[in-house]
Structure 1
Amino acid sequence: MNQSLKLFTVATLAGALAACGGSGSSSDDTGSTGTVSFDVTDAPAMEFSNVTVSFTGISLKPQNGEWVEFSFDTPKTWNLLDLQGGMSEPLITDEEVPAGPYSELRLLVDTTELASFVTLKDQPDVKKSLAVPSGEQSGLKLKGEFLVAADTTTDFTIDFDVKKSIVNPQGQSLADYLLKPSLRLVSNLEVGSISGEVDYATINQARNSDETQANCTEGYEGSAYVYQGADVIPTDLNVNNEEGNPLMVVPVSLKDGDSLYSYKAAFLTEGEYTISYSCQVDDNEIDDEIEFDGTQNVTVEAGIETEAQTIPLVN
């Protein structure tokens, strides 16, 4: 049967996806149940060395029913930056819930003093407080639709995009940073990934010799920008303007023994994507007009890790 689910942002529906599962998942299936699992993962960020979030529970809202709540005996606390490149951790696993459509999901977060916190790369030993905006009542409400199939297990992953989620309130809050997440909810059966390599040395050398282009940012190897759809013109990340934003920004890294920098963008639904690379730091708040290299189209298939061409593109 067909399952439907959608991308989520806080209080705003960002898009729609499709998934496949078992049968009998109509809201008219009175008394029928299914089992559901929710994991959490993170799309990478650049300026933080630690983003620790302590989850105390998760609640699911059936479209025609009361909230189904799961409270954790012990908070589940992770540094979200450890959950990148396809890594994830379970919030709930194989829990029985009413089958049918759901309209909302809520993540409960412990916001007592430094239970959840961030540290910056230039101040790794200093914990900065992290709080949920007032009005959220210690919970992060995600409105949209997803479907739990009857008599089978439906597995989801919540992609916690830290780069877009952590906001500096600039002195307008008692906390140092606010957790205003930009999340994606995806079915684990309907996602694949993209991996690739970047020839940073060649790009940096070319830029340093070309006065018409700005040099790469010193001490920064760059990031791969992932956009949904083919032939997208790459733009920088602007948290104040969701239109045209990349789906995720993935820093590249150099592994021991490698000569090229590598990246992996995970939990991507099937379809066409545009990948581009920039070796200039993006402050993700204003239009930086940063330079991009090696823009290419990549097709993602469920259950497959697709290899992108090396950047700069090799003929």
Structure 2
Amino acid sequence: MKRSIRFFTVSALAAGIAACGGGSDGSGSTGTVSFDVTDAPAMEFSNVTVAFTGISLKPENGEWVEFTFDEPKTWDLLDLQGGMSEPLITDEEVPAGPYSELRLLVDTESSFLVLKDQPDIQKTLAVPSGEQSGLKLKGDFLVAADTTTDFTIDFDVRKSIVNPQGESLADYLVKPSLRLVNNLEVGSISGEVDYVTINSTRLNSAELANCSDGYEGSAYVYEGADVTPTDINVNREEDIGPLMAIPVTDADNDGIHSYTAAFLTAGEYTVSYSCQLDDNESDDSIQFEGTQNVTVVVNTEAKAEPIPLVQ
């Protein structure tokens, strides 16, 4: 069953106990874990269907803990945006303590994608050689003893799906660009974009580049305050781009477009907007506007200022 974003009301003390109570002491203590999958939106695809066959977790000082699904769990990841998620495993018992890595197992033969400009063609997907049909996420996380810890894996289609430019037998490759969050530590950002005003201003400006045809823009979210916005470029050696880029939508057809950036850990973020297409790989820069700082608080939806900002 698809889940909407789940915020948990806990006191700071309770959260601290949960975070610190899972240290491995060799006593064989266990905890239970749940892992969901979500997606930071992409623009160029109309369907990205991925079939997950299992998930494996690596304790820092132990052997892999593996969960193989009886049937592949297959979802169009583009349905899992704006705080929606689907469960991979729920309330499974595992050794308590620190973990250093997880791996999502993927059945590439049952996975495919569809481009917006080629709606009748299914493109093949493959995992790069050496990944053992799995997508690895390295990084520390903690399973607390004698309690349940809920995590969400942000698949991030826009960064994970790349065009190999003829260097692979598959049309596209699924590369591991995953982000893991503890659901007790997250909030979200929502905001509005006055695309009609922005578009008309650019059409009459000699200084601003016009908005891309048929594209209504994206809100770019960066970790930290006062970040200078940059585009997404998967070829950069350093990860200096946005944490995610959220296409804005006009659900009510009133010219006011909205966005929601979900599963963000508490802290400071920079949000900016561009109505120009970002092809992920080009060094051509795009123009941003409405850049602002937003503070994310646990269990809270932070409201960003409307873009363009009211002066």
TM-score normalised according to structure 2 size:
0.92
Structure 2 stretches of 5 or more lacking a match? 1-14
- What is the aligned counterpart of 1:196 among 191, 196, 200? 191
Q: Secondary structure at the match of 1:299?
A: strand
Q: For residues 61-102 of structure 1, what are the alpha-carbon distances to aligned partners after superposition, in whole Å with 9 as ceiling and x for unaligned?
A: 111111111100010000000000000000000000010111
Q: Is the 8 A contact 1:43 1:161 kept in 2?
A: yes
Q: Which residue of the partner structure matches residue 47 of structure 2? A: 50
For 2:179, give the aligned amino acid. Answer: R
Q: Which residue of the partner structure matches residue 30 of structure 2? A: 33
* Cα shift at 1:246: 0.4
How do 1:143-158 and structure 2 match up within 5 A?
143-158=138-153
- What is the aligned counterpart of 1:231 among 204, 226, 229? 226
Q: Is the 8 A contact 1:274 1:298 kept in 2?
A: yes
In structure 2, distance between residues paired with 1:117 and 1:44? 16
- What is the aligned counterpart of 2:125 among 102, 122, 130? 130
**Are 1:111 and 2:108 counterparts?**
yes
Distance change in 2, residues 1:31/1:80 (3 Å) = same
- What is the aligned counterpart of 1:71 among 47, 68, 75? 68
Q: Is the 8 A contact 1:275 1:297 kept in 2?
A: yes
Q: Which residue of the partner structure matches residue 80 of structure 1? A: 77
* Cα shift at 1:26: 1.6
Q: For residues 153-202 of structure 1, what are the alpha-carbon distances to aligned partners after superposition, in whole Å with 9 as ceiling and x for unaligned?
A: 00000001110110111111111000002111000010000000000111
Q: Secondary structure at the match of 1:43?
A: coil
- What is the aligned counterpart of 1:276 among 272, 276, 295? 272
* Cα shift at 1:20: 5.9
RMSD: 1.3
Distance change in 2, residues 1:206/1:226 (3 Å) = same
Higher mean C-alpha deviation, range 158-167 or range 22-31: 22-31
Q: Is the 8 A contact 2:136 2:176 kept in 1?
A: no
* Cα shift at 1:29: 3.9
Misfit runs of 4+, over 4 Å: none
| Structure richer in strand, relative to its length | 1
Q: Is the 8 A contact 1:130 1:175 kept in 2?
A: yes
- What is the aligned counterpart of 2:235 among 234, 240, 246? 240
Q: Secondary structure at the match of 2:155?
A: strand
Q: Which residue of the partner structure matches residue 7 of structure 1? A: none
* Cα shift at 1:103: 1.2
Q: Which residue of the partner structure matches residue 179 of structure 1? A: 174
Q: Secondary structure at the match of 2:87?
A: strand
For 1:82, give the aligned amino acid. Answer: D
TM-score normalised according to structure 1 size:
0.91
Q: Is the 8 A contact 1:133 1:179 kept in 2?
A: yes
Q: Which residue of the partner structure matches residue 266 of structure 1? A: 262
In structure 2, distance between residues paired with 1:46 and 1:110? 24
Q: Secondary structure at the match of 1:78?
A: strand
Instruction: State how many pairs are aligned.
Output: 296
Q: Secondary structure at the match of 2:131?
A: coil
